[in-house]
C-alpha cells in the first residue's frame, strides 16, 4: 500500500543511458506523435531532448486539424549535435513534416545520424523528411498511406504494418503509420536498444 505523501517512481531502467532526440518544426506537429514517445521513452529511463526549428513554442494538433496545447522544446534544431544522441525520432503531422523536409538543418541531421550508424525512427508523415534527405532507397518502411507513392518513387519498399524495422547499409530505420501505432512504435525503439546493449 502506498504511503501518503510518498511518490512512487514510474521510471524504469530499461533505457537508462540512451539519448533520444525528437525533432519537429514549430507548427503542425501531431501532438500524440510528439508527446507519447517523449513521455514513454522518458518513463523507460531514456534522456529525451526535443529540438524544434526555433527555440519557441511548438503548436501541436490532433488529427492534423484540431489545435492542441503548445509544447516548449528543449533547444533549437541548430543547437542539436547528432553526436550527442543515440537515436533520432521524427513525429508526423502534415505541416510539420512538410516544413522539416525543406529544412537544410533537419536533412543534414538525418544524414549525419545515419553516417554515424545510429537509428532513425519516423512515424506518419515524418517519413517525408527521409525522402528529401535521400536516405530511403533500398529500405522497407511504412508511413501514413498517402506517402506510399512518394516512398516507392524514392526507391523504398512499402509495407502496410503497424511498425516496420529495416536494417541495411549499417543503420536501422523504424517506421510506423499513424497515432494508433504508437505503442508498437515506442516498443520498437525500446527493443532496438535492448538488442544493442544486451
Q: What is the CATH number of the domain that holds 171?
A: 3.40.50.880
CA 33 – CA 10 distance, rounded (Å):
21
Which strands, in side-by-side order, build the sheet including 66-67? 29-30, 60-62, 66-67
In a domain, 75, yes or no: yes
Residue 4's pLDDT is what? 37
Residue 4 lies in a domain: no
* Structural domain span for residue 183: 19-197
Residues, the chain:
198
DSSP single-letter state for residue 61: E
Q: Has residue 10 been placed in a domain?
A: no
In the prediction, which pLDDT does 1 show? Answer: 35
Number of domains the chain is built from: 1
* Residue 13 domain-assigned (yes or no): no
120-123: strand order across its sheet: 75-76, 47-52, 19-24, 87-90, 120-123, 171-176, 163-168
pLDDT on residue 162: 98
Q: What is the pTM of this model?
A: 0.93
Give the C-alpha distances (Å, rounded to integers) separating 140 from 10, 36, 125, 151. 35, 24, 16, 9
Strands 60-62 and 66-67: antiparallel
- Which residues carry out catalysis? 125
Specify the pLDDT at position 148: 98
Distances in whole angstroms, Cα of residue 87 to Cα of each of 18, 121, 153, 190: 8, 7, 26, 11
The answer to the question of residue 14 being in a domain is no
Q: Is residue 3 part of a domain?
A: no
Residue pLDDT tens, the chain, 198 long: 333 333 334 677 899 999 999 999 999 999 999 999 999 999 999 999 999 999 999 999 999 999 999 999 999 999 999 999 999 999 999 999 999 999 999 999 999 999 999 999 999 999 999 999 999 999 999 999 999 999 999 999 999 999 999 997 889 999 999 999 999 999 999 999 986 655
Amino acid at each position: 500500500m502506498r504511503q501518503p505523501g510518498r511518490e512512487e517512481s514510474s521510471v524504469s531502467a530499461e533505457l537508462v543511458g540512451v539519448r533520444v532526440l525528437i525533432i519537429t518544426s514549430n507548427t503542425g506537429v501531431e501532438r500524440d506523435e510528439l508527446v507519447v514517445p517523449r513521455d514513454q521513452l522518458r518513463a523507460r529511463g531514456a534522456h529525451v531532448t526535443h529540438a524544434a526549428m526555433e527555440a519557441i513554442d511548438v503548436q501541436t494538433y490532433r488529427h492534423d486539424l484540431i489545435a492542441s496545447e503548445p509544447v516548449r522544446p528543449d533547444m533549437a534544431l541548430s543547437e542539436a549535435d547528432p553526436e550527442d544522441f543515440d537515436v533520432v525520432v521524427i513525429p508526423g503531422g502534415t505541416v510539420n513534416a512538410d516544413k522539416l523536409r525543406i529544412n537544410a538543418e533537419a536533412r543534414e541531421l538525418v544524414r549525419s545520424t545515419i553516417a554515424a550508424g545510429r537509428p532513425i525512427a519516423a512515424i506518419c508523415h515524418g517519413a517525408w523528411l527521409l525522402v528529401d534527405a535521400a536516405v530511403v532507397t533500398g529500405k522497407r518502411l511504412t508511413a501514413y498511406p498517402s506517402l506510399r507513392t512518394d516512398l516507392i518513387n524514392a526507391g523504398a519498399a512499402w509495407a502496410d504494418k503497424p511498425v516496420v524495422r529495416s536494417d541495411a547499409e549499417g543503420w536501422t530505420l523504424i517506421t510506423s503509420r499513424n497515432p494508433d501505432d504508437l505503442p508498437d512504435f515506442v516498443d520498437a525503439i525500446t527493443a532496438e536498444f535492448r538488442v544493442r546493449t544486451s
